[in-house]
Amino acid sequence: MNDVVIRAEHIGKSYLIGHQSNERYVALRDVITNKAKGLWSKLRNPHCGAQRNIEEFWALKDINFEVKQGDRVGIIGRNGAGKSTLLKILSRITEPTSGKISIKGRVASLLEVGTGFHPELTGRENIFLNGAILGMTRQEIKRKFDEIVNFAEVEKFLDTPVKRYSSGMYVRLAFAVAAHLEPEILIVDEVLAVGDVEFQKKCLGKMEDVSAKEGRTVLFVSHNMAAINSLCKSAIVLANGEVNFIGSVSDGVNNYLALQHVVKNKVYFNKSTPLREGPKTFAKFLFVETINSKNETTGTFNMGEDIIIKIGIEFLKKAQDVEVMIYFKGFMDAYYGMFSSRVENFYDFKLGVQDIIVRIPHNNFLPGEWSMSLWVNSNKQSQDDLIDHAINFDILSDNNYTDSFVDYTKYKHYGIIGRSSWSSGIR
């Protein structure tokens, strides 16, 4: 049981990022003109601008850790910390730029909905395909076949092409295959959030069984600290592509929570802000900030905690029937709700720079990462300034929360996030 099955030594992963101009839409004639200009520039000076818009980004830097056989390890960190990149390296989906990874045994990965499935094949055919990928014989797969089907609860649709499956059916079958076809190492990302409450509990129980009873190793990524605490024995905390902590799961969760509370969550906007649209003729957003009930700027909140949103906005000229809206996106980038100044009967908009304060008492957000988008309009301008994905924040559940295994698919409609109160202040 003390054998090391995963060893990461000085793992690094870099990507080359290309930066484009601020133009959002480009006509065919613009593409042809730009290509001609670029060709002419290269002919005149072959060395000019070759690397002008390329930036090297290190998603992982000097990662070192060991995982022993039978361990249940939680990998936690904010979005962008490098978790998914690390799992792709461990799953042999991508190669590290530097360092070495050593893995002993077969690996089954569940990183996103439909991973490893062929959409044109039926559920039955995909079970045999996945087993073959894992190196199992047809007889071995047949022996586990009934267990997989019973666990996934997709018997009626077994001979239907999986492209017609819902996301929940996809995940149920994918997890059942990954967990039952006897890999030595099981890697599971956030995808279980697609399933319903009972299936999430069922999956966590199965992962605990394959580790405790069968001696297999489990790597589990989640923003749900209650699930991490209940399943895992140890934790690896990633921050900015580096290992911030390795140790017991309780200390790892505390480290993660402490790390999140010192993260400042304030974003300023300018002309080059990504995903920004609108002419900005009468108003433009300057910044957005998330604040807790202690008046601390933070990007992490507990369920039921008050959330304060401060929006800096400049009104350049008078407009009629001004409305400021805040949209929230959650799992799989789906809209979950919105707040509107018009709905809340807030019309205190004045010329110049103004801070708008939106308070969400006892928030009803579900555990996980959320994205906030901002929109200002009037009855004469439907969209004067729109910033999609303006800022992100995390909602954490604690161990005392009794329904921490939530069915996200039930909440894809407006209004689930509750009410808000609006106020303002002139600078």
76 contact partners, CB below 8 Å, separation of at least 6: 83, 221, 222, 223, 225, 228, 235, 236, 237, 238, 252, 253, 256
Same domain, 247 and 278: no
Amino acid 398: pLDDT: 54
Amino acid 181: pLDDT: 78
Residue 358's nearest CA partner among 377, 378, 372 is 372
- Domain membership of residue 51 (yes or no) is no
- Domain total in the chain: 2
- Domain membership of residue 16 (yes or no) is no
Per-10-residue mean pLDDT, the chain, length 427: 85 78 59 69 60 75 94 88 90 91 87 75 91 82 91 89 85 84 84 66 84 88 80 92 93 80 78 88 94 89 90 92 91 78 90 94 83 89 87 72 42 54 76
CA distances from 173 to 126, 135, 148, 203, 295 (A): 9, 19, 8, 11, 45
Same domain, 282 and 246: no
- Domain membership of residue 226 (yes or no) is yes
Same domain, 207 and 74: yes
Amino acid 308: pLDDT: 95
Rounded distance between C-alpha atoms, residue 308 and residue 176, angstroms = 41
Amino acid 192: pLDDT: 66
Same domain, 168 and 215: yes
Amino acid 110: pLDDT: 77
- Domain membership of residue 17 (yes or no) is no
Rounded distance between C-alpha atoms, residue 88 and residue 217, angstroms = 17
- Domain membership of residue 147 (yes or no) is yes
Report pTM. Answer: 0.61
Same domain, 208 and 145: yes
Same domain, 114 and 228: yes
Same domain, 194 and 322: no
Amino acid 360: pLDDT: 93
Q: Which of 261, 295, 311 is the last residue of a domain?
A: 261
Amino acid 99: pLDDT: 94
The one-character DSSP state at 297 is: B
- Domain membership of residue 367 (yes or no) is yes
Same domain, 197 and 70: yes
- Domain membership of residue 83 (yes or no) is yes
Same domain, 348 and 323: yes
Same domain, 230 and 338: no
What CATH number does residue 242 fall under?
3.40.50.300
Same domain, 154 and 80: yes
Type of residue at 112: E
Same domain, 385 and 337: yes
- Domain membership of residue 336 (yes or no) is yes
What CATH number does residue 402 fall under?
2.70.50.60
One-letter-per-residue 3-state SS of 48-62: CCCCCCEEEEEEEEE
Q: Which domain holds residue 356?
A: 266-426
Q: Which of 261, 285, 310 is the last residue of a domain?
A: 261
Q: Which of 214, 246, 261 is the last residue of a domain?
A: 261
93 contact partners, CB below 8 Å, separation of at least 6: 109, 111
